[in-house]
Amino acid sequence: MTSATPPSSEGSSPQKVCHSQTQTDITKPLLSSTGGTGGAGAGGGGTGAVGPNALRRRRRVLSKDGRSNVRIEHVSGRGALYLRDLWTTFLDMQWRYKFFLFSATFAGTWFLFGVLWYLVAMVHGDLLEFDPPSNHTPCVMEVKTLTGAFLFSLESQTTIGYGFRCITEECPVAIVLLIFQLVITMVMEIFITGTFLAKVARPKKRGETVKFSQHAVVSNHEGRPCLMIRVANMRKSLLLGCQVTGKLLQTSLTKEGETVRLDQRNVPFQVDTSSDSPFLIIPLTFYHIIDDNSPLRAWAAKGGGWTDPELADFELLVIMSATVEPTSATCQVRTSYLPDEILWGYEFPPVVSLSPSGKYVADFAFFDKVAKTKTPPLFKQSLPPSPPSQASRYHGGKEDGADPEKMRLEESYRGEERGRERGRIRDSSPLSVRISNV
């Protein structure tokens, strides 16, 4: 862990000792996370004028906040599929539609059963227009109009019970209807209330408190060019078993000549020398080593030239999976980086400092800022091995055909000699017998 002093906007602020995974040149000006000129200059590798075709804005597959931008069309029976999985459909529903459906469900059931109670009263002759006699016993007391039937349905379903509207023993149909209403509406209330609680307690809300850096940077780390991103947990409650992976989406051409529009390539990330369960108590920098096995090798060989239409036609998806400590639920946080959001030759400044009271402080004012490196990263692709000539293949094959056989014979002869010597030693040495028996 290195020590440095983070840049400050105020000259009179006290000096702090900073600790970070990256040694940063703090004398260089910092770029804002929304600065367009700095990102273009860094990503372009120092190039000047850029054509309009090279600077085209590529539409994202995944937005910066992790939402999918893929639209699904022409799915036969899509509505029936959603109705078969009502639980997921209700959970994915937006809050405004959920509140409307919640209110409409209760108001609709109140009115529907109110109409049924009105029909029961009409069949039994309890309504005012029938002018029932004074000794007439209605099915439901004080239900003589449609409004009274609606109020009785509401009071029964919500178990208010004001006291002057009640069911009597006169109509068995009314008793069956009351039981049916209470059972059906109880099941609906349990379902709707459960979806509300599940939507509120979803790990997606916990994932919103995990922050990714607005830009990814490429600089040297341990003598090798690395793609770096910064991740931070905004809460004090820990995330257990954090795993950060990357997917590179780009158009590729197979050996059979087939064009794959969104071909996915793995982009592994690690912290320091390990990728297993980083301790995300402070903002961490995750590294992807750009070597000959990296899917970014062709892009890095050109110095991160995102202005090249062919090399810059990709999108980097970063996915972090973790377990929420208080609820033990699994959450996943996602973001994406376009080529113009990957800054070549920049690095992250320190964000963790030591306060005068001896506490570590994570200053998120520098979380999304970057600084120019002293030495730009350099990546060179290794050339593929040249095929051997015909003469060397013939000469090597001739030697390989003779030498291995000779070596096998010599090794077998030496093995037999060593075996005979061991046998003589065991027979003549009582100490070896005692040791072997222990």
pLDDT value at position 319? 93
184-221 per-position pLDDT tens digit: 999 998 998 898 888 887 777 788 889 999 999 999 98
pLDDT value at position 128? 85
Measured N-to-C along each axis, helices 146-157 and 172-200 cross at an angle, to the nearest 10 degrees, of: 60
Q: Is the dihedral of CA 100, 106, 111, 113 positive or negative?
A: positive
pLDDT value at position 38? 41
pLDDT bucket at 335, cuts 50 / 70 / 90: very high
pTM exceeds 0.85, yes or no: no
pLDDT value at position 153? 92
pLDDT value at position 206? 80
DSSP labels for 291-349? STTSTTHHHHHTTS-TTSTTTT-EEEEEEEEEEETTT--EEEEEEEE-GGGEEETEEPP
Lowest mean pLDDT among 240-249, 281-290, 409-418: 409-418
pLDDT bucket at 336, cuts 50 / 70 / 90: very high
pLDDT bucket at 385, cuts 50 / 70 / 90: low
Q: Is the pLDDT of residue 16 over 60?
A: no
Q: How far is CA 28 from CA 233, 316, 343, in A?
A: 27, 27, 15
Q: Is the pLDDT of residue 316 over 90?
A: yes
pLDDT bucket at 427, cuts 50 / 70 / 90: very low
Q: Average pLDDT of 14-26? A: 38
154-187 per-position pLDDT tens digit: 999 888 878 788 888 889 999 999 999 999 999 9
pLDDT bucket at 122, cuts 50 / 70 / 90: very high
- Measured between alpha carbons, how far is 397 from 388 in angstroms, rounded to an integer? 12
Q: Of all residues in the chain, what percent carry a pLDDT higher than 90?
A: 25
Nearest by Cα to 219 from 396, 372, 21: 372
270-294 per-position pLDDT tens digit: 886 555 678 888 899 999 999 988 9
- Measured between alpha carbons, how far is 82 from 101 in angstroms, rounded to an integer? 16
Instruction: Say which residue, 316 or 414, is predicted with more confidence.
Output: 316
Measured in whole angstroms, how far is the alpha carbon of residue 370 from the centre of its chain? 24
